[in-house]
Amino acid sequence: MLDVNNFDSMRIGLASPDKIREWSYGEVTKPETINYRTLKPETSGLFCERIFGPTRDWECHCGKYKRIRHKGTICERCGVEVTRAKVRRERMGHIELAAPVSHIWYFKGIPSRLGLVLDIAPRALEKVLYFASYIVIDPGTTELSKKQLLSEKEYSEYRSKYSSAAFKVGMGAEAIKELLVEMEADLPEDQQKPEEGIISRLDLLHQELTNELKTVTSQQRRLKAIRRLEVVEAFRKSGNKPSWMIMDVVPVIPPELRPMVQLDGGRFATSDLNDLYRRVINRNNRLKRLLELHAPDIIVRNEKRMLQEAVDALIDNGRRGRPVTGPGNRPLKSLSDMLKGKQGRFRQNLLGKRVDYSGRSVIVVGPELKLHQCGLPKEMALELFKPFVMKRLVSDGIAHNIKSAKRMVERAKDEVWDVLEGVIKEHPVLLNRAPTLHRLGIQAFEPVLTEGRALKLHPLACTAYNADFDGDQMAIHLPLSAEAQAEARVLMLAANHILAPKDGGPIIVPSQDMVLGSYYLTAVRNSSQGRPIVGEGKIFTGINEALLAYQHQELDIQAEIKVRMKDVDEDGNVVKDYGLVRTSLGRMIFNETLPKAVRQFSQDKKTGEWSLGMLMNKKQLGKLVDICFKTLGASETAVVIDNVKNLGYHYACIAGMTVAISDIKVPEKKQALLDEAEAKVKKTQRQFERGLISDEERYKKVCKVWDDATNLVADAMYDNYADNEPFNPIYMMADSGARGNKSQMRQLAGMRGLMADPSGKTIEIPITANFREGLSVSDYFISSHGARKGLADTALRTADSGYLTRRLVDVAQDVIVREEDCDVVGINLIRERAKLAESAAAAVEQLKETLEGRILAADVLSPETAEVIVEKGVTLDEEILKTIGEAGVAEITLRGSSSNSDAAITNAAATDTIKLGAPDENIRKSIKSAMVAEMMGKDTTAAVVDSQGVEIVPAGVPLTEEYIEAVLSSDAKEVKVRNNNIRGIEVEAIVEGSGVIEPLKDRIVGRVLAEDIINPETGEKIASLNDDIDEKLADEIV
């Protein structure tokens, strides 16, 4: 017997009729399921106990044998074996068909396997199988050809002309089976060639197709031969016979896999498969009876066709024609439907199963939670931790045994809740939200018991899960073993997942209310902006004095003040005296929550005056998290983030942000800007009317005018807010990054601008109104296109991206990237300039961004004393880099490689040596000469830009000496060019053997030319270097 838990490989193949009979425990001959009076299965029916086993453990159908002592006995009265009822999940039956039928997968699949083997077009095959045409099996001495199709009229004409004995025709699956049996039969002994492996007609067909591949020139015939060869080769290698694609026997799956259950009202609900099997059995029995009665041929033929359709529906309902439907016009679920798709056997039950110790509930926000915590409803916690609670109840002596402990838990006694509190302490749980698109879709949290029935989620964990609180649900899983708990705590705890796997930037960044609160707190008001600011310009001795003044309403939280500040160590010694620091109370409060190492002190280089804090918008908060992580590590960063969260929520509440229609201010300049744009459009129209520009040019110009006008109105609106109302709630929300953005504000207070029609083309008439002013009927109508399209696109994109991911994973299953694109060569200008630095310290300062976070592969030695300054294996941070720079180290060696052209990129042992400040006036010349030699004349892969984003060299242009000079004179980071050493396809050199080879056209479409293509006959250039090969160009080349 096969051990289903331990096997090396598995192959899916065709089952022969004998194999199906071997699986079966008996033939199902009746369509009945259960007796309506006794509710017991009918004998020889679809639920027959004699075939599939007893419905009750150790009890036969008639009741003669009961209990386990009769195990294995077969009742002589009812024929049922006394065994366990679970065999009804394993035992199969079969239906002996009165006429062969084709398997729809092999006839209707793409490409049709039956059609390929027999070399018959699928449409012709369908006519034969469904009794619309005859097929010639043996032409005899007539002018007919083998496999020729004949209509009823043609057949009667040929029969009267030659007599029915002169040739042989057939119809339906019987005729196809005859052709297949003939194909797989052995050749006469004189025609066999064992040394060449040719014994059967199938072997001969294989040889013929191989020879045809070598000689045929037509692309169409070649493709067909390759497809046929694939199928023939598969049959030869697998040992399956082509005739098994035609079925004489249909297997009946075990009854427990197609159950029938009684509902409350006495009615029964049954699996769709039972209806489909019933149709097959009814039609099969009717056909048997008609054959016994020697019914007219036309009636028998119709019944055979109906049997074929019934078996088609059973295997794959809806594959051919209209599907068989049940009550309410619902298509019945066939055997194929039970396997395929998200709800099929593979994805639902085999690849993913429902597991014990798990639950599911709606999520609500838990702002009071810490980053490593989640709120777990008491009822859910008690059920999940039930065995742990029961064990603790017994070990603490509260319950005498497990049985009484279980009873206590089920009755939820008061003692149980106290024990549960102890059990969940330091026992992490896993929270998962579907779809799990990256590793942060499952994270570990420490549970905190809560009232109610909803799971509470930390607001900062939402980004990683892509969760919101509008009815989202999440699943919870309990790690049971000590190892699983340790793994969850160390590897999966949410507080350790501060960085995103996509780019290494922080993913846990305060958002929405937290950002708004932080922005409000750290903003500074000036009396020049309108009302007088209480306490502005005052000087305080410290934060406590400032807080006292604020509590007595002597100081506005956003007033700019000066405070005397010192940095004191644990012993009370002054480490640094900042003097009078320019700040605001809000900025001081914000910085008080931060550790000293990351407080936001900055010094004015001209005056030497210190200031504390800055305006904290979403971007600045992200940077703060990043700095904290690099400086303090994950656990301390989690504490800082929680503090910022609490502060943000508190001051968002105090700010009391509301939005009124009066907060939407339309800029005064708007009408003037619109008039200017209107004049430009009229001018363009006149140019078109005079024939100076084409309609296409006019359209583009008009669209550009209105785009520019929209942007100018938006800028005017934004500047108006920034200059006159910086504390306007709408402006604060957008400017802080809490919610909304500049383009949404533009639609509220600026102008909506150009819209797209249903096809996606821009309508050249803009919507000059905004939502504050209100839209006209035509404005509303124009904008409805885009709104509807946006919603439809979103829904379609979600489904498409999920399916694309599945296919992508499928094709990339066994692909390993072992090297980078070696055709691209680049130069890291930051590194090269670091060599020109005056000292190692200056070089380190230049390379800081690229070096931080890298790991040393070798000890760093002092150039003077040869002592180890930094040991290998240490991760570089700001302090260590400073030490290396001050010591004047000439070079350091790091683990891994960041060089694009390094062949050892996948080698974990690869190292990367970086030169630090070797001042030499020849180095600039050497960089230039290297670039001239390696890169000049080659096309850039991307635009080269400096640190300000100004383009120095465009993308896709050859690198000239002037460009190289410009690059070296700028602070651009790197230049990359394409080598054009692309591995080409030698058209002449392709030799097709016996294997399956795709046509040349398919291989070159979508690739890029590595050289000009010249027509050998005319000498004319067909295509140029670096052209993309599309279908049309491929046809010319081939």
Is residue 988 predicted with pLDDT exceeding 50? no
**Half-sphere exposure of 450 toward its Cβ, with a 13 Å CA cutoff?**
20
Q: What pLDDT score does 858 carry?
A: 83
Pick from 19-33, 416-430, 643-657, 799-813: least confident: 799-813
pLDDT per residue as tens digits for the range 336-370: 999 998 888 888 888 888 899 999 999 999 999 99
With cut-offs at 50, 70 and 90, classify the pLDDT of residue 836. low
pLDDT at position 186 is 83
Report DSSP letters for 957-988, one per residue.
SBPPHHHHHHHHHTT--EEEEE--------ST
For the cut 50, the answer to whether the pLDDT of residue 649 exceeds it is yes
Greater pLDDT, 613 or 96:
96
* Of residues 973 and 958, more confidently modeled: 958
Identify the weakest region by mean pLDDT among 36-45, 753-762, 860-869.
860-869
For the segment(s) 513-652, the CATH number from 2.160.20.10, 1.10.150.120, 1.10.274.100, 1.25.10.10 is: 1.10.274.100
Classify the C-alpha dihedral 145-147-150-155 as positive or negative: positive
849-907 pLDDT, tens digit per residue, is 777 777 888 888 887 777 888 888 888 877 788 888 777 777 788 876 443 333 222 33
What is the model's pLDDT at position 903?
A: 29
Residues 6+ apart with CB under 8 A from 438: 501, 502
The residues pairing with 448 across neighbouring beta strands, listed in sequence order, are 375
At residue 754, the 3 state secondary structure works out as strand
Q: Please, how many CA atoms are within 13 Å of residue 124, restricted to the half-sphere of its CB?
A: 15
Calculate what percentage of the chain has a pLDDT beyond 70. 91
The predicted-structure confidence for 105-133, as pLDDT tens digits, reads as follows: 999 988 899 999 999 999 999 999 999 99
Provide the CATH number for the domain formed by 661-792 in this structure.
1.10.132.30
Local structure of 1010: helix, strand or coil = coil
Q: How many CB atoms lie within 10 A of CB 604?
A: 10
Rounded CA-CA distance 514/647 in Å is 7
Is residue 981 predicted with pLDDT exceeding 60? no
Neighbours of 870 (CB within 10 A): 19
| Reported confidence tier of residue 523, pLDDT bands at 50, 70, 90 | very high
Residues forming beta bridges with residue 915, ordered by sequence position? 891
The number of CA neighbours under 13 Å toward the Cβ of 121 is 5
Task: Give the mean model confidence (pLDDT) for residues 727-753.
Answer: 90
Give, as one character, the DSSP assignment of residue 47.
Answer: T
Residue 299's pLDDT band, with cuts at 50, 70 and 90, is very high
Q: How many other C-beta atoms lie within 10 A of the C-beta of residue 570? A: 5
In 28-158, which ranges are E strands?
92-102, 134-138, 149-150
Q: What pLDDT is attached to residue 1017?
A: 66
In this structure, the number of other CB atoms found within 10 A of the CB of residue 893 comes to: 14
Pick the CATH number of 354-385+427-496 from 2.60.40.420, 2.40.50.140, 3.40.50.300, 2.40.40.20: 2.40.40.20
CATH class label, 837-919: alpha beta
pLDDT cut 90: percent of the chain above it: 52
Q: Do domains 513-652 and 837-919 have the same CATH topology?
A: no
Mean pLDDT computed over 485-512? 91
Nearest alpha-carbon partner for 420 in 400, 442, 453, 398: 398
CA dist 649 → 125, 218, 653 (Å): 72, 73, 6
* Residue (of 993, 979, 943) closest to 963 by Cα position: 943
Instruction: Give the per-residue pLDDT at 907.
Output: 33
pTM of this prediction exceeds 0.85: no
Q: Say if residue 93's pLDDT is above 90.
A: yes
User: What is the average pLDDT value for the chain, to the nearest integer?
Assistant: 86
Which tokens belong to 73?
Answer: 């006995």
Q: What is the mean pLDDT of residues 837-841?
A: 64
pLDDT band at 373 (very low <50, low <70, confident <90, very high): very high
Give domain limits for the chain. Answer: 24-91, 98-133+171-248, 253-352, 354-385+427-496, 513-652, 661-792, 837-919
Residue 986: is its pLDDT beyond 50?
no
